[in-house]
Amino acid sequence: AQSVTQPDIHITVSEGASLELRCNYSYGATPYLFWYVQSPGQGLQLLLKYFSGDTLVQGIKGFEAEFKRSQSSFNLRKPSVHWSDAAEYFCAVDLNQAGTALIFGKGTTLSVSS
Amino acid sequence: DSGVTQTPKHLITATGQRVTLRCSPRSGDLSVYWYQQSLDQGLQFLIQYYNGEERAKGNILERFSAQQFPDLHSELNLSSLELGDSALYFCASSAGSPYGYTFGSGTRLTVV
């Protein structure tokens, strides 16, 4: 079955340090790939997306993600984390098939320490 | 403001009751999706409507139903509520693949 795996449930990073959140998907073809962020009590906000072309995509708030077909991965990165980045991050895939919708990973909670 | 409006923001109701959650999609988006978010299940897709017609169905219980009206707003009806239905319910809208979804701020449902 198609699935999205975010191996890290919770990550703590020091402010100013770099960040990488992992995402792996299980699907035969390359789906469309997304990262969303959810702050407490808020809805999900789209950070970035990949559907073709350059495998390194830039998003909002200084985030970027790299698609690696050989590893079925779409990891999210940020070179220097700010305290305001503390939130829950979700990786999602769009299989682009009729009758399907975005499939989300379980999420990674990011805490930022000072 | 994402452009997707959900009402109400909070809802507290008793077991066995019925509630209706409302969603207005972003202007121009024809697709509306409903998701349930709970601590143990994460984000679960419930149902999709496109321009008034049901297009996809996920893990939606038979006690739940939805519809999309001619003005494109959507309603999610939850009946015979159980304690386990307590969750955040999100509506999202989309202009289609590969643009992703725009989410509303959710309705927090508490069943007591």
Residues in B touching A106 (Cβ below 8 Å): 42
CA distance, residue B43 to nearest chain A CA (Å): 6
In the prediction, which pLDDT does B30 show? 94
User: What one-character DSSP code corresponds to residue B69?
Assistant: -
Contacts of B10 (CB under 8 A, 6+ apart): B107, B108, B110
For B101, the closest chain A residue by CA position comes to A46
Q: Which of B103, B105, B107, B108 has the highest number of chain A CBs within 10 A, making it the mutation to test binding with A?
A: B103
In the prediction, which pLDDT does B76 show? 98
Contact B100 A94 (CB under 8 A): yes
Interchain contact A27–B (C-beta under 8 A): no
In the prediction, which pLDDT does A52 show? 86
- Let me know: does B91 contact B102? Beta carbons within 8 Å: no
Beta bridge partners, A64, equal A58, A77
Contacts of B90 (CB under 8 A, 6+ apart): A43, A44, B6, B34, B35, B36, B37, B43, B103, B104, B106
Contacts of A113 (CB under 8 A, 6+ apart): A12, A13, A14, A15
Residues in A touching B106 (Cβ below 8 Å): 42-43
Residue A106 phi, psi (nearest 5): -75, -10
Contact B97 A43 (CB under 8 A): no
- Let me know: does A32 contact A97? Beta carbons within 8 Å: no
| DSSP secondary structure of chain A | --EEE---SEEEEETTS-EEE--EEE-SS--EEEEEEE-TTS-EEEEEEESSS-SEEE-GGG-EEEEEGGGTEEEEEESS--GGG-EEEEEEEE---TT---EE---EEEEEE-
In the prediction, which pLDDT does A1 show? 67
Please report, in tens digits, the pLDDT of each residue of chain B (112 residues total). 889 999 999 999 999 999 999 999 999 999 999 999 998 889 999 999 999 999 999 989 999 999 999 999 999 999 999 999 999 999 999 988 777 899 999 999 999 9
Burial of A7 (0-12, 13-18, 19+ CB in 10 A): exposed
Residues in A touching B101 (Cβ below 8 Å): 44, 46, 102
Residues in B touching A90 (Cβ below 8 Å): 43
Spans of chain A below 70 pLDDT: 1
